[in-house]
Amino acid sequence: MAISMLDSNMEVDKLTYEIFSILENKFLFGYDDSKNSVTGKETNLSAPFAGNKIVGTGKVRILSIDAGGSTDGVLAAQSLTHLETTLRQNSGKNDAHIADFFDIVAGSGAGGVLAGLLFTRGNDGTPLFTANEALEFILENGRKIGRNSKNGFFRRVSRPAKVFNKVFGDLTLKDTMKGVLIPCYDLKTGTPFVFSRADAWEMDGCDFILADVCGATMADRGVGLQSVDGRTKITAVGGGIAMTNPTAAAITHVLNNKQEFPFANGVEDLLVVSLGNGDSDSGAGNVMSSLAAFVKIAGDGTADMVDQAVSMAFGQTRNNNYVRIQGNGIVGKKYQLIKDENVNKSERMKKMVVIAEEILGQKNVECVLFQGKKLVENSNLDKLKIVASELIKEQERRKTSILPPVVLKHASPSPRTSSATTLSFVSSC
C-alpha cells in the first residue's frame, strides 16, 4: 500500500519508507470518515480539537525544525523568536520559554542545534537559551558551524566542536527538559541514526554528549563520536542527509511511545508546529556541476514530501492541529546573495534577519499530497499567532486535567529500545 505514495523507482532508505508506511496505513485512508477514525471512536472532526472531548487528555505538542535550508537556521530561529514573544505576551508570563509549551522537539541540522539550545536545562533549571538568544547564536556562529565552510578540513571539524563545547560543556541527552529527537546519518551502518532523550534514559549506550550530537547533525563529512559509556560508536554526517524534515519521525515516535505519551492514539491527539528553513537556493542549472546543489535539492524535495504526507494525514483536522511555516520560493535567492557578499559581519547579520522577516510576512504555503502547494490568506506570522493561542489553551487546560497527556521518563529498571529509534539502533546499541 505504501508504494502508492512513493514512486516505485525512487531509492528510499528504510527509515523513510517505514515512516511513510505508518502514515499511510494508520491515517490517510478512510480518515475523513468520522466513524472510521484511527482511534476506532466516532468523532466530530469538523469541530476544533473535537477528538479530545472523549477522554479529555488534551494534545501532545510537537515542535519540528528542518535542517538548514537556504537560511541556515535563521528563518526557524526568527519564527521561534516571534512565537516565544507572542506566548509571553498572551500568557502573561514574561519569563516563559519555548520549551514550556512543547512536549517534544525534533530538529535536524541547524534545527537540531536550535533544539539543543532551547530544550537543554541550565544551572537554574530553565532552558539554556531563550529564542532570541538562540537566534543571536545562529547569526553569530553560522559560519563556524555551517556545512558550507570553505576553511579546510581541520577547521571544518574543530571549529564547530569548539563552539558547541563552549555552550553545552559535558551536558548529555539526559539533561534535556522535554522529549528530544535529533537525526544524523551513520556511515558505519549506512542508516539514519536518531539521538533520542527517551533512549538515553533507558540505556547508557544511547546517551551522548550534546556538543557531539549537535556536531553530528551539522557535519558535512564523517565525524566519529561515541556514547557516554563508550559502548556505541558511529561515524556521523549531517541530519539534512538523513532526515531534512523530521516531522513524520516525531509523529511516529509519539504515537508509538506509549510510556511517555499514553493517550496519543492518532493525529487528532497531536498539535504539531513544523518550521521550515527557507527556500531552496540551488538552481537546476547547478545540479550537474555541484554535488552539494544536488543534495540540497533532494533534501528540499524530501522536506516537501514529508509536509504533504503529514498534511494529508491530518485530513480535516490539519487547520487546527498542524501548522507548517515555510518560504514560498520568492526570496530564497536574496539570502544566498547576501551570504556571498563581501560585507562586514554586522551588516550581513542585519540583512539576514530582514530577509527572514520578509519570508515570515509572506502568505503561508500549504502542501497537499498529489496536489502541490497553494497559498492561503494568512501569513506565516498570522499562523504563528494562531498556534500560540492554541498552545496557551492546551497549557491552561492541563491545569485542571486529571490525566496527564505526557509522562516523561527519567529512568527505567529494565533497559529496552524505545519505538523512537528502533530502526537506528538495531545494529548500534
Residue range 317-336, pLDDT digits in tens: 677 799 998 876 655 555 55
3-class secondary-structure state, position 421: coil
10 has a pLDDT exceeding 70 = no
Worst-scoring range by mean pLDDT, 176-190, 234-248, 280-294, 332-346? 280-294
Amino acid at 164: F
Mean pLDDT of 53-72: 77
C-beta atoms surrounding 252 within 10 Å: 22
Range in 24-28, 161-165, 190-194 with the lowest mean pLDDT: 24-28
Cell triple for 400: 485542571
Question: Which range is most confident: 31-40, 222-231, 277-286, 346-355?
Answer: 222-231
How far is it, in rounded angstroms, from Cα 265 to Cα 57? 11
pTM score, whole prediction? 0.78
Instruction: Look at residue 30 in the predicted model and tell me its pLDDT.
Output: 40
Residue 296 host element (H or E): helix 291-314
DSSP string for 129-176: --HHHHHHHHHHHHHHH-TT--S-HHHHHHHHHHHHHHHHTT-BGGGB
Q: Contacts from 409-415 at CB under 8 Å and sequence distance 24+?
A: 409/198, 409/201, 409/202, 409/259, 409/260, 410/201, 411/201, 412/201, 412/202, 415/202, 415/203
Give the dihedral sign, CA 199/201/205/208. positive
Q: What residues act catalytically?
A: 108
Q: pLDDT tens digit string along 73-96?
A: 889 999 999 999 999 999 999 999
pLDDT tens, residue by residue, 91-110: 999 999 999 999 999 999 99
For the chain, the distance separating the N- and C-terminal CA atoms, rounded to the nearest angstrom, is 31
Q: What pLDDT does residue 128 have?
A: 96
User: What pLDDT, on a 0 to 100 scale, did the predictor assign at position 394?
Assistant: 94
Q: For residue 265, which phi and psi values (nearest 5 degrees)?
A: -105, -15
Q: Are 167 and 194 in contact (CB under 8 A)?
A: no
pLDDT bracket for residue 50 (50, 70, 90) = very low
Say which amino acid occupies 131.
A
pLDDT of residue 73: 85
